[in-house]
Each structure stands twice: as C-alpha cells, then as structure tokens.
Amino acid sequence: MSSEYLSKEHQIIATMRKVLSSIIRDTTPPPGRPHPFRESTIEDVKHCFALITAREQEIHEQAGKGMDLRPRYADEPKKSHVVDFVKPDKKK
C-alpha cells in the first residue's frame, strides 16, 4: 500500500473517531438519568472504538512509527539525557 493511501485512510479513521466521540458526548445524559441508547448499541459503539484503535495501531506499525508519541513544549526539559563517557587514560 502506498503511504498516500495509508495517510488518507488514517485521516478517515481519525475523523470517524472524533465524530463518534462527539456523538457520545452529545447524547450522554446527566448522572441519574437513563441513557437513550440500548445496551446493545452501547456495546456496538465500544466495539467500533476498539476496531478503530486496532487499525490505527496497524497503520502506525506499517509506517514504522509508535503510538506513544506525545507533543511537548519547546522549553520542556527532556526526560532522557545523553552522558558522554570518556575513558580515562591509563597511568603508567
């Protein structure tokens, strides 16, 4: 598969995740009120999220990227530090 296809597919999947999330947020009732969806519909939505996540992981693996990348601020200190080790000369 071409990277253009994967990129377009990933855009579609990401958009589907955002839209599905928005629908869930908009239809979730306040605490104590019954949900308008049937239990089977809620399980189907959970299954959709699981499928979307699985495909996103496959796309990232095919692209050679991990899913653990997170944005960081430019002035944020790095979590890892490279320490240069210089072996001292042997004294005679």
pTM: 0.64
pLDDT reported for residue 47? 97
Query: Where do the H-state alpha helices sit in 1-92?
Result: 3-27, 39-63
Examine the pLDDT at 83 and tell me if it is beyond 80. Answer: no
* pLDDT of the residue at 60: 83
> Domain residues of the chain, as ranges?
3-63
Residues 6+ apart with CB under 8 A from 25: none
Residue 63 tokens read as 């692209």
- CA nearest neighbour of 42 among 53, 52, 28, 22: 28
Q: Which has the closest alpha carbon to 53: 13, 1, 2, 6?
A: 13
CB 34 within 8 A of CB 63: no
Residue of 57, 43, 74, 75 lying closest to 13 (CA atoms): 57
Q: What is the pLDDT of residues 7-66, one digit of tens each?
A: 888 899 999 999 999 999 999 999 999 989 999 999 999 999 999 999 988 888 887 776
